Every structure is written in C-alpha cells, then in structure tokens.
C-alpha cells in the first residue's frame, strides 16, 4: 500500500502506512521533509527512498530540478559516472565535492593509485593526500 502512495502522491496515507508497517525511520524522514517545506516532489521522493524505490526517487528529483539531490543519490548508489555527468551538466557547484567523494570511495577500496590520479586531476587538497600517504599508501605508491 505504501508503494501505491508514491504513485498516487498521497503523503497523508503514506504516513499511516509507514506507521502500520512499523517503519519509524521512514515516517520520521517523511514528516521532517513535510515540515521543512520541501516541494511535493521532494517529499514523495523522500518516501520513495525510504521504501527502496530509488529509480522513482531519481525521476522525482529530476522533475523538480533538484540536481544536487540527484547527484547525492547517484553517489550513494555508487553510480559515479552518472553522478559526474549530472554534476558537470546541472550541478557545477558540487562537481569538486563529487570528485572528492569518489576519491574517498576509491581510497576506502584500497585503490590508492586511482585516488591519487583522481585527486591530481581535480585539485585535491594536499592535506588529504598526505593523509592517504601516512597510512600504508606511501610504500605501495613508491614501489610502483
């Protein structure tokens, strides 16, 4: 029933459905979005995210022109190429942050060389690179 609330855009019914499902986190996120005065599409997209309807949420964010939220959603889904395209075309203010998050993602996977390569291209901060190399990254990088 809650999935139908996304399709019909009935947020009042969705709150009841989330309560009956015992989905307290989803109900709280939806209530917070409703109280903050977000556009209706963003509120429905918040509901869609809580229900796992991520493609529907992406369409709703795009429909209302919130490309910053589209970018963030794509990053959390590890769809980095699409996130770069959205950031380069519609969300230029978050482009550098997107590359920074991607370099952190590569670093968490243990791919220090790729993280350094991405950071060189997109003007990574020196203090972050030293943090990468202080760990076990420097001996590996120097050995290559």
Predicted pLDDT of residue 88: 93
pLDDT tens digits, one per residue of 63-80: 999 999 999 999 999 999
Predicted pLDDT of residue 96: 86
Predicted pLDDT of residue 53: 94
Question: Residues 142, 79: one domain?
Answer: yes
Predicted pLDDT of residue 64: 93
Question: Residues 56, 102: one domain?
Answer: no
Question: Residues 9, 26: one domain?
Answer: yes
pLDDT tens digits, one per residue of 99-135: 888 888 887 887 767 666 665 555 455 445 555 555 5
Per-position DSSP letters for 78-131, written without gaps between them: T-HHHHHHHHHHT-GGGHHHHHHHHHHHHHHTT-HHHHHHHHHHTT--HHHHHH
Question: Residues 70, 136: one domain?
Answer: yes
Instruction: Flag whether pLDDT at 81 surpasses 70.
Output: yes
Average pLDDT for residues 78-86, to the nearest whole number? 94
Give the end of a domain, one of 19, 46, 65: 65
Which pTM value belongs to this model?
A: 0.77
How many domains does the structure of the chain reveal? 2
pLDDT tens digits, one per residue of 22-38: 999 999 999 999 999 88
Provide the domain limits for residue 47: 1-65
């Amino acid at each position: 029933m809650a999935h139908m609330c996304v399709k019909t855009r009935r947020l009042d019914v969705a709150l009841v459905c989330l309560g009956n499902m015992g989905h307290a986190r989803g109900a709280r996120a939806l209530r917070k979005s409703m109280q903050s005065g977000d556009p209706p599409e963003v509120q429905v997209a918040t509901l869609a995210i809580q229900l796992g309807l991520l493609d529907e949420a992406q369409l709703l964010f795009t429909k209302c022109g919130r490309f910053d939220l589209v970018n963030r959603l794509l990053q959390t889904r590890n769809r980095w190429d699409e996130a770069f395209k959205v950031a380069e075309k519609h969300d230029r203010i978050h482009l550098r942050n997107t590359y920074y998050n991607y370099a952190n993602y590569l670093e968490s996977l243990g791919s220090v060389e790729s993280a350094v390569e991405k950071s060189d291209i997109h003007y990574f901060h020196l203090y972050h690179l030293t943090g990468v190399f202080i760990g076990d990254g420097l001996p590996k990088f120097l050995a290559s």
